[in-house]
Structure 1
């Protein structure tokens, strides 16, 4: 199995167009958001040439556009599930300074680990949500109605627990889900009325997102929604590992059905 190397690069920049900052090799991807840039490289046969050339190209692009790379804030994480003997990875250098290699990085609010598990992210969400339960209790003591308390919960706590849930919730361990559900149960006791459970919120979001992708031919995942000859459902995605089985697209394909066509005479 191949491995992935990703370097999340943060740079100070003014407002400018970055359309020409793109990958030079098809095995790499440059993901840009505000002042954060992430390079994802697929490495085969231990050949990191394209990945390192991509880093050098980005470094040169920043220099040409008078941008300064903050190497001290740059992190690299390696995802490698090969069963063969692991090789020692050569450190990544930017302007002669070594990039720190870590076990997990925070990407757009989601903690991604080198083993693609979600316990770190789930623990972070539970801790953050529990801090906001304090404010929910404070509002309860002021005599606020249950409806307003629920609105506060859904806006400030559920929004945290379910942020990008379609990416990570399906692959959570039973312990992670139990810890997340405990926060909802505590909030429910404070509010004094039933609150949406995370499982149901996750299922509804998967269905909604799957419907949008299936209806959008320009989406990269659209080709995965292939209707069976009967037209009653989509063809399931074959999975050989639990990691893939519990990921978004296999679940999304099973969650919706192809639209029925109405024939008019």
Structure 2
């Protein structure tokens, strides 16, 4: 069970939501009470800008991102009609649209369905058509941020995930994390450990960035 207090609810204790992430539903948990009030169980909550659902899928989160990005495409079209220089259009896109599509992208992107990714890609392609220049695709951004985030964790021995990066005897890669489900396999740490190389090697020559949701080994 994950509980989140609603914004502005410091003085109203009954404003809270809870999501039960258990896969087995054979047992019924008693109601959860916090500060004397029962926590309402919901199917999804918004936490740190991400929409988390009880089935741990990202369709709702993707739909919200696409909706917000589409609203900002309207302003991009207006700027284009006003003959704003291309570089300023690109800056506007990256700061107001790409920033939305890529929020916490290392958490959810690789676990998205093909349909979710197509919806996100359509936004990028639409923006490309408006601006008239090529824009970074989400696969490239995901790979870059995955590499950057993993490198920061590797360099920080105090990070809780640092111990997951265990070098192989070959000295080229890190030991893959054993996973039993595709959901875990496509999450951040298994992907990061599988895709990142040791400092003396380069990820550019690695085939690990082929975005096949059922293939994790790099």
Query: Are 1:74 and 2:16 an aligned pair?
Result: yes
With normalisation by structure 2, the TM-score equals 0.87
Q: Tell whether the 8 Å contact from 2:14 to 2:39 is kept in structure 1 after alignment.
A: yes
Instruction: Tell me by how many angstroms 1:96 deviates.
Output: 4.3
Q: Is the 8 A contact 1:9 1:70 kept in 2?
A: no
Shift in Å, 1:69: 4.8
Structure 1 residue 86: Cα displacement: 2.2
**Aligned counterpart, 1:234:** 174
Question: Quick check: which one's strand share is greater?
Answer: 1
How far did 1:70 drift?
A: 2.8
CA contact 2:167–2:175 (8 Å) conserved in 1 = yes
Residue 98 of structure 2, aligned match among 158, 170, 180? 158
Q: Which residue, 3, 12, 22 being the options, matches 1:7?
A: 3
- Partner residue, 1:41: none
Report the equivalent of 1:257.
Answer: 197
Q: Which secondary structure state, in structure 1, belongs to the residue aligned with residue 62 of structure 2?
A: helix
Which 5+ residue runs of structure 2 have no aligned equivalent?
202-218
Q: Name the CA distance, whole Å, in 2 between partners of 1:197 and 1:143.
A: 25
Q: 1:259: Cα distance to partner?
A: 2.2
Per-residue deviation, 1:88: 2.1
Aligned-pair distance for 1:188? 0.6
Q: C-alpha root-mean-square deviation of aligned residues, in Å?
A: 1.7
The answer for the alignment partner of 1:199 in structure 2 is 139
Q: Which residue of 1 aligns with 2:86?
A: 146
Superposed CA offset, 1:139-195 (max 9, x none): 000001111111100000000000110111110000000000001111110010001
Offset at residue 230 of structure 1 (A): 1.4
Contact in 1 for aligned 2:6/2:17 (Cα 8 Å): no
Larger radius of gyration: 1
Q: 1:225 aligns with which of 152, 165, 175?
A: 165
Q: Give the Cα separation in 1 of the matches to 2:193 and 2:51.
A: 25
Bigger shift: residues 185-194 or 90-99: 90-99
Work out whether residues 71 and 99 of structure 1, in 8 Å CA contact, stay in contact via their aligned partners in 2.
no
Q: Report how far residue 107 of structure 1 moved.
A: 0.5
Change (3 A) 1:115 1:149: same
Instruction: Kindly state the Cα deviation for residue 71 of structure 1 after the two structures are TM-superposed.
Output: 2.9
The answer (yes or no) to whether the contact 1:11–1:69 under 8 Å persists in 2 is no
The aligned counterpart of 2:61 is 121
TM-score by length of 1: 0.72
CA separation of 1:134/1:233 partners in 2, compared to 1, >3 Å: closer, same or farther? same
